[in-house]
Structures are given as C-alpha cells and as structure tokens.
C-alpha cells in the first residue's frame, strides 16, 4: 500500500498539484480575457446596467487575483513571506466563493417573490457559509518549504469544514431555486421559455457544483497528505466561478434577445409583446400589467400564487434589487 506521507510521494503529489493548478489557472485566464466585452459593453452603455454586475465582477476579479497569487507562490525560487501571500490568496478565494453563492441566493429570492421565510433562510445559510470561510482564513498556517521550493500550507486539513459547508450551501440554494420554479409551475400560468431556461440552468449549476465540490471534500476527509488535501480546491473554485458567471451572462443575454424580440414568456392563451426589463433578479410579483393598450398587452397569470404575470409594459414597483450598491 502506498504511504502517502512518504516525502518522495508527497513531493510527487506536489508536482502534480502545481501542474494542475497552473493548467486550471490558464483556463481561467483565457475565460476572463475572452469575456471582458460583457463588462465593457455595460461601461459603454451598450448593455443595460444592473447592480448585480458588481457581484459578477467581484467573483471574476477575486478569482483572477487568486490565480496570479498562485503563480507567484508556486514559481518563487527564493523564500518569500508565504503566510502573507497565502492568507491574502485565501481571502480572495473565499470572497469569490461567497460572491458566486450570493448570485445563486439573489436568484432564489427573486424566484420566490421575496417570500420572508425563504429570504430569512437563504440569508442564514449564506451567512453561515461566510462565517466558516472567515474562520478558515484565521486558522491558516503557511511557510516556505525548502524541499518543495514553494509555499506550503501546513494545516490544509482545516479546509475540510469550509469545503463541505460551501458545497452544502450551494446545493441547498440551488434546490431552493428549482423548488421555486416547480412552485410557480404548479400554480399554473407560470413562465414558459424563461422558466424552462432557468430550470435548465439550475440543473447544469447543480451538476457543476457536485462535480466541483465532491473531489476536494473527499480528499480532505481522507486527509492522505497536504498536497492531496489541496489538489482540487483551486480547480473547484475556478469551475464554480466560470459556471456562475457564464450562467449569469447567458441569462442576461437570453432576456435581452427574447424581450427585445417580443417573445412570449407565458402560457400560450395570450400572446404578448414584452419590453426590456432592467433586472431579471426582480421578483415576479413586482411586475404590473396593463391590458387593453396597444403595444402593452397585459396578461393575467393563472393560479393563486402569481397575482400578476410577466407582461408587456412592465411597469412595476421600485425594488431594492434595482438600487445600486
């Protein structure tokens, strides 16, 4: 049986870790710079401004800085202040994770029309996750390893709770999102194309969350050695960041394409012309329809839960989700 604590095995595992992290870092750098046009179009006014763009950008920039610090820490040929570098790296990584989870939470709140119970539970779950991430930063210990000629985390096993709690948090929030869509569908008259689009996104998001979260959790529980404990944590972060930001962009693009084309998002009894909305994170109940006016044909959603359908005209009450942060 392999002795994973053997120095030779540990050194080989660290070499694999460095190559794997560099490979995923390269993937993220390509993803980041090839999609910068999304933010640039918002800055230039070619795409509507939504305050959630700040969360989206925070997720991406934090992960970018993590990748850069990884390269600095791994490629250093002489001793550096590893505790400072790795601590800052971990803060940024946790900031990216928390921001990605926040994008899910905002979507959950919107789908459930800001139900107070759902709102309180979602914030509690996300807050608990953030608390665990903070304690992980406080407990971290790192130093320069002469044998590996790079920064080495001395107590990587402390990340076990962080990884598991983050994984569980994302799964809970994603299941709540899917549950909200099922709730709308059972009420009747729910959204058609937009609802189906969100449903497919939710399934993809859960699949990616499981694929990214299970490997690091398993290796941390096994605690074979420091290298294997860390092996899949950065890949998991990059997978979650890319999936969260791509899903965010695709939703914005979907809404822009379909709203501008006057596509119907509701049950086919009534055909509607839908004008662009400023924020798809806004709860459905905030939309107000105006039936009988040319170009702004309203619709009444079936079922008890949706008092107002997603309708043409789109006049609605102000929402805190629309206010800049």
* 0.85 exceeded by pTM: no
pLDDT band at 301 (very low <50, low <70, confident <90, very high): very low
pLDDT digits (tens, 9 = 90+) for 112-126: 888 999 999 999 999
Dihedral angle of Cα 10, 16, 17, 19, to the nearest 10 degrees: 150
**Structure tokens given for 178:** 């899917």
Tell me what pLDDT residue 282 has.
Answer: 52
Give dist(CA 75, CA 24) in Å, integer. 15
Nearest CA to 89 out of 68, 60, 119 is that of: 68
Non-local CB neighbours of 296 within 8 Å, separated by 6+ positions? 273, 275, 290, 312, 313
> Residue 263 pLDDT more than 50?
no
Tell me what pLDDT residue 217 has.
Answer: 92
φ/ψ of 178, rounded to 5, equals -65, -35
Q: How many CB atoms lie within 10 A of CB 291?
A: 14
The region that residue 68 occupies, defined by phi over 0 for left and psi between -120 and 50 for alpha, beta otherwise, is: alpha
pLDDT band at 305 (very low <50, low <70, confident <90, very high): very low
């Amino acid at each position: 049986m392999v002795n994973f604590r053997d120095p030779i095995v540990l050194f080989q595992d660290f070499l694999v870790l460095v190559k794997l992290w560099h490979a995923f870092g390269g993937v993220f750098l390509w993803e980041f710079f090839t999609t910068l046009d999304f933010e640039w179009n918002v800055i230039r006014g070619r795409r509507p401004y939504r305050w959630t763009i700040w969360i989206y950008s925070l997720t991406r920039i934090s992960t970018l800085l993590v990748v850069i610090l990884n390269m600095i820490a791994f490629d250093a040929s002489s001793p550096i202040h590893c505790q400072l570098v790795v601590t800052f790296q971990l803060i940024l990584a946790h900031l990216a994770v928390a921001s990605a989870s926040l994008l899910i939470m905002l979507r959950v709140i919107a789908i459930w029309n800001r139900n107070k119970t759902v709102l309180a539970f979602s914030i509690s779950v996300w807050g608990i996750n953030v608390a665990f991430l903070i304690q992980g930063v406080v407990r971290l210990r790192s130093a320069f390893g002469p044998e590996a000629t790079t920064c080495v985390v001395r107590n990587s096993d402390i990340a076990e709770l962080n990884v598991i709690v983050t994984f569980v948090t994302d799964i809970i929030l994603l299941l709540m999102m899917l549950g909200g869509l099922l709730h709308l569908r059972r009420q009747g008259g729910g959204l058609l194309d937009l609802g189906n689009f969100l449903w497919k996104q939710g399934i993809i998001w859960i699949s990616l969350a499981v694929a990214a979260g299970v490997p690091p959790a398993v290796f941390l529980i096994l605690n074979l050695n420091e290298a294997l404990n860390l092996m899949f944590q950065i890949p998991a972060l990059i997978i979650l960041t890319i999936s969260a930001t791509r899903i965010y962009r695709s939703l914005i693009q979907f809404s822009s394409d379909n709203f501008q084309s006057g596509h119907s998002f509701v049950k086919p009894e009534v055909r509607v012309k839908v004008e662009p909305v400023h924020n798809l994170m806004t709860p459905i109940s905030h939309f107000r329809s105006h039936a009988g006016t040319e170009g702004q044909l309203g619709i009444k959603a079936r079922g008890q839960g949706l008092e107002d359908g997603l309708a043409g005209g789109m006049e609605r009450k102000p929402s805190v989700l629309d206010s800049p942060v």
